[in-house]
Amino acid sequence: MPTKKRVLVLGASGMVGRAIQEAARSTQALELLPASHRDRPGHLHVDYESLTTAEAWARVLRKHRVDAVVNCVGIWSGTVEKFELVQYTVPVALFDACSQLGLRVVHVSALGFSTGSPLPYASTKARADQYLLEHCPPGVVVYPSLVFGGDGDSSRFFLNLAALPLQVDFGFARNLQPVHVREVAEAVASALCQERPPRTIECAGTHPVTIPEYFDALRAGMGLQPVRLKVTLPGWCGRLLFTAGELLGAHFVNRQTWILLQTGTRSGKQNPKALPYAQLATLADRRMTQETQLYWFARLGISFLWLGLQQ
């Protein structure tokens, strides 16, 4: 019986990490070691942020007899220093260790980011990608577009917006090419199993779409009728809304999301074999959006009741 490749999966508890574990079950060639910086059942504890040197990573990789590494770690919010640590300093140390030990590392990044981006979220990812490709010969970078997964926070955000009876269009270009998380996971598993995988792998949907077109596809997947009330507003209205969201501490309605939606995450080519957009969402996602809407209506009702009792 051939020996399985022992793969350390960093960020295994996230949406992409969970999908990679599911995809690996279909192959007999991989033995996954899911890792997390938190104490989670069934996960190897790896204090990710403390491993800032190649020597520190090499000790971890040798201790657990690792043959390859998948890095799915990333953060959405934080200080400039936090982004620099989590999305550049630590990954670079990991890449150096893998290069020294001759281990393959598959790094999950994102399409459309550049080193000159004004967002630390995007620029640190792009710089780490560039470092891996220049200094780690066994390394592979997977570039997904906007990733859809029913249990992902950003996907739930888009699903809840799509389910609303009103659709607002701020005039974004046709620059999104969403891809299902399962397809990203399969690309990672394939890169681990191939003897000579390509150094870069793009994962994108069938074709570029606008945000309203994406919402229409999500509604179709959830079994909802096309929205009847559509409003087109100038870009400055959207910028004002997202700026207000940042001031109020909203997780996704903020300046970072606004810039990323303007930049887009599209591939330079069509991908007809990808899952059609209308099949991304499901009836289970519809139930989730209904429960979310009922929750907020209930909170609103309780607030009005409380205000009435104060009179």
Q: Are 112 and 265 in contact (CB under 8 A)?
A: yes
pLDDT tens for 121-161 read 999 999 999 999 999 999 999 999 999 998 888 999 999 99
Q: Is the pLDDT of residue 297 over 70?
A: no
Which domains, ranges and CATH numbers included, belong to the chain? 5-149+178-203 (3.40.50.720), 211-305 (no CATH)
Report which of residues 78 and 309 the model is more confident about: 78
The pLDDT value recorded for residue 248 is 87
Which tokens is 76 given?
């959405």
The torsion defined by the Cα of 30, 202, 155 and 46, in degrees rounded to 10, comes to 40
Q: How far is the C-alpha of 6 from the C-alpha of 58, rounded, in Å?
A: 15
Which tokens is 252 given?
């996704």
The pLDDT value recorded for residue 150 is 87
Q: Which residue has the tokens 């080519």?
A: 269
Closest to 101 measured CA to CA, from 58, 64, 141: 58
Q: Are 76 and 83 in contact (CB under 8 A)?
A: no
pTM of the model: 0.91
Which tokens is 28 given?
């007999």
Q: How far is the C-alpha of 87 from the C-alpha of 164, rounded, in Å?
A: 34
pLDDT tens for 176-194 read 999 999 999 999 999 999 9
Q: Are 205 and 179 in contact (CB under 8 A)?
A: yes
